[in-house]
A and B are shown apart, each in its own frame.
Chain A
């Protein structure tokens, strides 16, 4: 996973109080850490969503790099993904020395899959599929994980944004049909 300066701002959402006090009973002195602190449930979910968002950003950057002609159509979508990532990272804070490290999501790491599609049209289809999959994955996560209401709202809103990106990409695809000139990767 590439170095990310925003990691430095992370601070763990840990159940410090409960873990720190629970083991003290009856032993005459306080043992600060009778058991390792447990993570709040949001942390793992956030880490997975953050990894998926990074993966999406990598895909967009790869496509824009390979097909500069698509830049005007894709830049605003990329920026919105960067806003998603900033909001998600703003909620994940890890204290110095914490053993916690964000782990990549099972549904995708921080890197775009290797191999850029051969044409601009195929690249748009590739991004459309990724947006569709991630919007669906966010809904599945909301139904299967325990998160705070505010994180549930953020995940739902990001999912709605990604579903709307697919609609934007569908419109862009009309302008970059396979017969269009300059549709080969550079």
Chain B
């Protein structure tokens, strides 16, 4: 895969993640109230704006932006405010990981774009998670590298 086609594929993955986040925040907002509902609305707006940006980037590359689905299967049942907050965390983590693909696939401009988008996702995730993580977008225990036993106990305490 050339860098060009790899970046297009990565941007399509971001678009899919943004579409899923837009759908998911619509669900989450229905189970939240007050300031948390307002925050969900602000996140929903952010993701719609990001979706439009990525759609335009794909079109400018001559690619056909993948269409959003009518509905998405949620990762778990959302019937309470707590589950809605957990969904918001899940959505931000998913979008962050998608932008990580852009960082790996692109040249300097795409890396910068992806890295800035990851920062925005990570800041929104703090709002829902109530804490930061060491390696946003990188699933599980962080980047793959030789694990040193003395580091394995350094997971931050739950906030």
Task: Write the residues of chain A forming the contact surface with B, with a CB cutoff of 8 angstroms.
Answer: 75-77, 79-80, 82-84, 86-87, 90-91, 135, 138-140, 142-144, 149-150, 152-161, 163-168, 171
A91 close to B115 (CB less than 8 A): no
Query: What 0/1 readout, one digit per residue, does chain B (113-149) give for beta carbons within 8 Å of chain A?
Result: 0111011111101110001111111100011011010
A149 close to B112 (CB less than 8 A): no
Q: Least Cβ distance of A50 to chain B in Å?
A: 14
A-B contacts, 26 listed (Cβ < 8 Å):
A76-B132, A79-B154, A80-B134, A83-B151, A84-B134, A87-B135, A87-B142, A91-B145, A135-B119, A142-B103, A142-B111, A149-B105, A152-B104, A153-B100, A156-B111, A157-B136, A158-B135, A164-B123, A164-B125, A164-B126, A164-B133, A166-B123, A167-B127, A168-B131, A168-B132, A171-B126
| B1 at interface by CB-CB < 8 Å | no
A90 close to B111 (CB less than 8 A): no
Contact count A vs B, C-beta below 8 Å? 124
Question: How far is B99's CA from A82's CA once the two chains are assembled, in angstroms?
Answer: 24
Question: How far is B138's CA from A143's CA once the two chains are assembled, in angstroms?
Answer: 20
Given contacts A139-B116, A160-B115, contact A150 B143 (CB under 8 A): yes
Partner of A149, one of B104, B109, B115, B134: B104
Partner of A160, one of B119, B145, B148, B154: B119
| B34 at interface by CB-CB < 8 Å | no
| B108 at interface by CB-CB < 8 Å | yes
A76 close to B159 (CB less than 8 A): yes
Chain A residues in 8 Å Cβ range of B138: 153-154, 157
A86 close to B118 (CB less than 8 A): no
A161 close to B104 (CB less than 8 A): no
Given contacts A153-B143, A157-B118, A161-B134, contact A143 B112 (CB under 8 A): yes
| B62 at interface by CB-CB < 8 Å | no
Q: Which residue of A lies closest to B155 (CB)?
A: A79
Q: Least Cβ distance of B120 to chain A in Å?
A: 8
Question: How far is B122's CA from A167's CA once the two chains are assembled, in angstroms?
Answer: 9
A160 close to B104 (CB less than 8 A): no
Partner of A87, one of B118, B145, B159: B145
| B157 at interface by CB-CB < 8 Å | yes
A86 close to B151 (CB less than 8 A): yes
Given contacts A77-B132, A80-B134, A139-B115, contact A144 B159 (CB under 8 A): no
Question: How far is B104's CA from A151's CA once the two chains are assembled, in angstroms?
Answer: 9
B112 close to A167 (CB less than 8 A): no
B148 close to A86 (CB less than 8 A): yes
| B156 at interface by CB-CB < 8 Å | yes
Question: How far is B122's CA from A143's CA once the two chains are assembled, in angstroms?
Answer: 20
| B8 at interface by CB-CB < 8 Å | no
